[in-house]
Each structure stands twice: as C-alpha cells, then as structure tokens.
C-alpha cells in the first residue's frame, strides 16, 4: 500500500463519480509503482457496486488513460491493475528516465572495462613474448643475418665438395654456348 499513489489520485485524477472511487480503492492497494491485483468481487464490495459495473468502470478509466489493466487468463486469476493518474505517470517516467541513464552509464562502464581488460591481455602477451626472447629486436636481426651467412657458407662448402668429387670435367661458359651453324629447313611445302 502506498499513500503516495493515493494522494496523487486524489490530487490529479480527472475521473468523476464511481470511477474516481474505484481509482481511489485501487490506489489504496497499489505499491509505489501503481501496481495492484485485487479481485473484481473485492473491488465491487469496496466500491459498493456490482462486478459488471466494475468491469465497465475499468474500461472507462482505461480510455481516460488513468488505468492500465492486464487481463488474466482463466478462472480464479485476478487482473493486474496499474493506477496512472497524471502525477503518478510523470513521477514514474522521471524514475524510469533516471534508471535508463544509470543503465546506459553502467553499460558504457562495462564496455570500457571489457576493452581495458582486452588491452591488458594483449599487453601481457606482448610482455611475455618479449621476456621469453633473450635478445632485443636489433640483436634478433643480427642473429638472423649471421644464421643466413652461416647457411650460405655451408652451401658454398657443400658445392665445393661436390665439385671436387665429381668425375665430369668442369664446364665453362665457352663449352656451353650453342653452335652458330644451324640446320636449315626447307621452305617449300611438302605436299
């Protein structure tokens, strides 16, 4: 029960007569968000009218925009009512706006923290990679150049060993040139 919603109904509701009395009874049972779920028979007894009249009054209040009704399914289940006179509606909208801003700022904080964590992971991986290598970048380049030079020397040595053990005479550029006199093919057709 919220006295806030009851006062807001009494101060700002545009409803009249029995509809206003129904709204006061609903506000009396509502929480601060304006929600309550009394049975139709209970409402009829409190307003001193029939259940059928309660149904017509709730439709009238819905059309005025001061009541939202979520109809229940099945027998024995009560409807869910939300009392929304103008001041309650404005108060709830303001509260929801504040909550929405908090959610947005929280979402941005989560996004920023996720980005920060990802950057930290990348930084840690980079540090681990640099820590596991004993050389700096320039030393790595020098080391790679020396390995290439050693490999080239090994290939050269292997080539000399093969050359020394080969029974073929060494070929020179003169030995590999093609002869200048080529065969001449006839230019007349064969048919």
**What digits encode the pLDDT tens for the residues 84-120?**
888 877 888 888 888 888 888 887 877 777 777 777 7
Q: Mean pLDDT for the chain? A: 78
For residues 125-136, average pLDDT: 62
Which among 39, 42, 84 is positioned nearest to 62, based on CA atoms?
Answer: 84
Total residues found in the chain within this entry: 191
Tell how strand 80-83 and strand 35-36 pair up.
antiparallel
Contact, 26 vs 67, CB < 8 A?
yes
pTM: 0.51
pLDDT at 72: 81
Delineate the domains of the chain, giving CATH numbers in brackets: 1-137 (1.10.10.10)
């Amino acid at each position: 029960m919220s006295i806030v919603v009851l006062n807001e109904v009494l101060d700002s509701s545009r409803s009249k007569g029995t509809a206003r009395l129904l709204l006061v009874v609903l506000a009396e049972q509502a929480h601060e968000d304006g929600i309550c779920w009394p049975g139709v028979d209970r409402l009829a007894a409190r307003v001193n009218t029939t259940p059928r009249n309660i149904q017509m009054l709730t439709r009238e209040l819905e059309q005025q925009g001061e009541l939202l009704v979520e109809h229940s399914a099945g027998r024995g289940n009560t409807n869910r009512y939300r009392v929304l006179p103008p001041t309650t509606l404005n108060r709830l909208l303001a509260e929801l706006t504040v909550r929405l801003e908090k959610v947005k700022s929280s979402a941005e904080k989560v996004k920023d923290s996720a980005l920060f964590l990802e950057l930290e992971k990348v930084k840690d991986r980079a540090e681990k990679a640099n820590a596991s290598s004993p050389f700096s970048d320039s030393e790595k380049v020098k080391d790679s150049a020396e390995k290439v030079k050693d490999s080239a020397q090994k290939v050269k040595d292997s080539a000399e060993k093969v050359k020394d053990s080969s029974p073929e005479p060494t070929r020179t550029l003169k030995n590999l040139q093609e002869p200048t006199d080529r065969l001449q093919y006839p230019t007349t057709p064969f048919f």
